[in-house]
Amino acid sequence: MARCSLLLVTAAAALRPLPLHTPLRTCAAPRVICLRESPWMSPITVEAPGLNGGDLWAGARGSDEEFEHAISEAMSMTITAPIIPQFYPQRRWLWRKWRGTILPRVLPREVAFNVGFAIACVLLARLPATVAEAPAAAQILRTISGNLRTVDKVWLLTSGLVSFTLSFFLTQSYAFWRSVYSSTRKVQGRLNDIGLLCAGAAERDSRGEYTEGAEQLLSVLGRYVRLYSMLLYSSCTTRFAVLQTPRGLGALVDCGALTTAERTAMLQTGMGSNAVLMWMSTLLNSGLSDGRLGGSPTGGQPLGLQLAFQQCFTELRGCSASIADELTGRMPLAYTQLVQIMADLLIAATPFALLHSVGGVGAVVGTALVTFFHSSILYLAKMFLDPLNNDQYSSDMGINVATLMQETNLGSERWRKSAQWVPEATLPRDRSRTNEEEERWRMGGGRLASSRTNEGGNQVQSDALRSNQVQSEGGGRLASRTDAATAPNEGGNQVQSGAIRTDAATGPNLAGAANAEPTPKPTPPTSASAPAPAAADSLSGIRLLGKRNVPLELLGLSALAADCSADCSAAPAPMEPPMEPRGGGA
């Protein structure tokens, strides 16, 4: 029982929470955990070389000169250097380049050191012949040299595996570099999209110029865009980490990129670029609410703008967060370590493997070539894993963050200046018309007709002809109408041209009235006492779509002729008006 009590007391003491101000690295207190000893504890704030170089306080350690240089580069509106080192594809030009290539990293140190090591191995192999006066030492050296003859076989077996692993490692590293580069460009693109939408939707006066409120909104938006870019990259790089310190924020206030109230709020919250993102979103929502965005005829629909802004902000947040996510998860430690060990062992065994097969000179030259190729691939891959030069490893081969900021600074004012004045042809049309113009607009179906006669008679007639054509192309559907005596006199052309008449006066042409010429005035209906044509020819055939007569037997209507032969002498009864065609005809 006593032993159990002692165990419970010990466990309770071990599980007791630590004091709030307990130092992180103390050897006297056994309960304090050293964060740097565990790779799973706070990787972003403690050791994240890809994000902050492994130094959380990198921004506070720079000199005054570095601080002023970082501020001037971040606030510059002029692009001082390309985003990455540029090249020309000519062979001669590429062979002459030194800066910005892999050569400064490999040739002076790696290749020179391994060539010296190869020379030492060649001299060691020739040493037994020069120490004949010391038989014991010569025998030992001969034994070592003989045992090294089998190294070339192992070297041949492993060289292919190492070369393949290095090539695959380089491919994955370049894919990571390209992904980070694409994320930075997406951030820049979304910021440009926001500026473009706001510049096009800003409120304008009758002359097409920005109103005072719209001009102020675009100016504040441009300042927030620049501030967001600076604070975002200051949290992802050691070069500009000073911008998010109190000293850096104070310098931004002096430069006009930040107000005093905004600096105080940022120090209190510590949200950095996330706070600026919410400021931009609130600013645009306010602009849509009070009419500074979408409040004039040139501004478009506020609902559509709201949806477009929301999409831009969500994509901007995702692209910005992906930069830090990719930098902290760039490559597993075990993978990188294994590739480094494989390359080093292969290069170290190269002089011994080549010594007995190609001789001393060949071993030295071969060691230089193998070292240059394999070390170059390994160094290049590790440089790709540091795209923002936070490890101080990629040097001038990485992405130039200062250029990203300067391009964003230019883009923050590009769209406002581009749309500050627009031509008169781009402004909305003046809808104020006279009564006569409005009537012509209404009668023209949304377009002003050049000339109209007889109260729109020509237009109605053309519409009737168009309707007649639709009926004629409707698959030969049989339809009949009575005369147009009940139709208004103005629409006589339409009724006369569109009806398919089946009077006894039409004879065998039951569907041919569609092709008849329109008459100005319709003919009154004939009376029942009017003489009728012969019954033998009235239903002998049907003319379809203006073609020749088709016998009724071919249409399966032979019984129709027999039934109607007795009644064809009488006047035909009025038939129902034809159904209007639907779609493209029956």
Dump pLDDT digits (tens) for 81-112: 999 989 999 999 999 998 888 998 898 888 99
Confidence of residue 144 (pLDDT cuts 50, 70, 90): low
Please compute the mean of the pLDDT values over residues 255-275 and round it to a whole number.
Answer: 92
Which token pair is 578?
A: 């034809």
Which token pair is 101?
A: 């290539």
Q: Mean pLDDT: which of 177-181, 356-360, 486-490 is highest?
A: 177-181
Q: How many CB atoms lie within 10 A of CB 576?
A: 9
Contact indicator for 312, 193 with CB cutoff of 8 Å: yes
470-493 pLDDT, tens per residue? 444 444 443 333 343 344 444 444
71-84 pLDDT, tens per residue? 999 999 999 899 99
**How many angstroms from the chain centroid is the CA of residue 539?**
71
Average pLDDT of the chain? 73
Please compute the mean of the pLDDT values over residues 160-171 and round it to a whole number.
Answer: 94
Tell me whether strands 549-551 and 541-543 are parallel, antiparallel or unpaired.
Answer: antiparallel
What is the rounded CA–CA span in Å between residue 537 and residue 520?
30
Return the CA Rg of the chain. 45
Query: Above 50 in pLDDT, residue 170?
Result: yes
Report if residue 512 sits inside a domain: yes
Angle at the Cα of 455 from the Cα atoms of 452 and 461, rounded to 5 degrees: 75
Q: Name every residue whose Cβ is closer than 8 Å to that of residue 316 and which is 6 or more positions away in sequence.
A: 187, 190, 191, 194, 277
* pLDDT score, position 318: 95
Report if residue 501 sits inside a domain: yes
Q: Name every residue whose Cβ is closer than 8 Å to that of residue 408 and which is 6 or more positions away in sequence.
A: 188, 191, 225, 226, 229
* pLDDT score, position 585: 42
Report if residue 440 sits inside a domain: no
Give me the domain span that covers residue 573. 479-522+530-586
377-396 pLDDT, tens per residue? 999 999 999 999 888 777 77
Percentage of the chain surpassing pLDDT 90?
39
Confidence of residue 32 (pLDDT cuts 50, 70, 90): very low
* pLDDT score, position 42: 42
Q: CA nearest 388: which of 237, 176, 273, 174? A: 237
Residue type, 268: Q
* pLDDT score, position 297: 85
Please compute the mean of the pLDDT values over residues 491-520 and round it to a whole number.
Answer: 41
Confidence of residue 355 (pLDDT cuts 50, 70, 90): confident
3-class SS string, 299-312: CCCHHHHHHHHHHH
Q: CA nearest 384: which of 47, 50, 83, 45? A: 50
Query: Above 70 in pLDDT, residue 554?
Result: no
Which token pair is 105?
A: 């990293």
Please compute the mean of the pLDDT values over residues 211-236 and round it to a whole number.
Answer: 94
Domain tally for the chain?
A: 1
* pLDDT score, position 393: 79
pTM of the model as a whole? 0.65
Query: Of 355-364, 414-423, 547-556, where does mean pLDDT reach its minimum?
Result: 547-556
Which token pair is 500?
A: 């398919």
Query: Above 80 in pLDDT, residue 461?
Result: no
Which token pair is 21?
A: 């101000």
Percentage of the chain surpassing pLDDT 70?
61
Report if residue 509 sits inside a domain: yes
What is the rounded CA–CA span in Å between residue 313 and residue 218?
17
* pLDDT score, position 125: 72
* pLDDT score, position 344: 94
Q: Name every residue whose Cβ is closer than 8 Å to that of residue 470 and which is 6 or more positions away in sequence.
A: 581, 584, 585
Query: Above 90 in pLDDT, residue 515?
Result: no
Query: Of 71-75, 436-440, 444-448, where does mean pLDDT reach its minimum?
Result: 444-448
Please compute the mean of the pLDDT values over residues 5-15 and round it to a whole number.
Answer: 44
Please compute the mean of the pLDDT values over residues 332-358 and round it to a whole number.
Answer: 91
* pLDDT score, position 317: 95
Report if residue 224 sits inside a domain: no
Which token pair is 182?
A: 């694409």
- Length of the chain as a residue count: 586
Angle at the Cα of 288 from the Cα atoms of 287 and 291, rounded to 5 degrees: 80
Report if residue 202 sits inside a domain: no
Report if residue 580 sits inside a domain: yes
Q: Higher-confidence residue: 344 or 126? A: 344
* pLDDT score, position 443: 57
Query: Above 60 in pLDDT, residue 547?
Result: no
Please compute the mean of the pLDDT values over residues 197-215 and round it to a whole number.
Answer: 91
* pLDDT score, position 368: 93
Confidence of residue 559 (pLDDT cuts 50, 70, 90): very low
Report if residue 542 sits inside a domain: yes
* pLDDT score, position 171: 95
* pLDDT score, position 41: 42
Please compute the mean of the pLDDT values over residues 443-459 and round it to a whole number.
Answer: 44
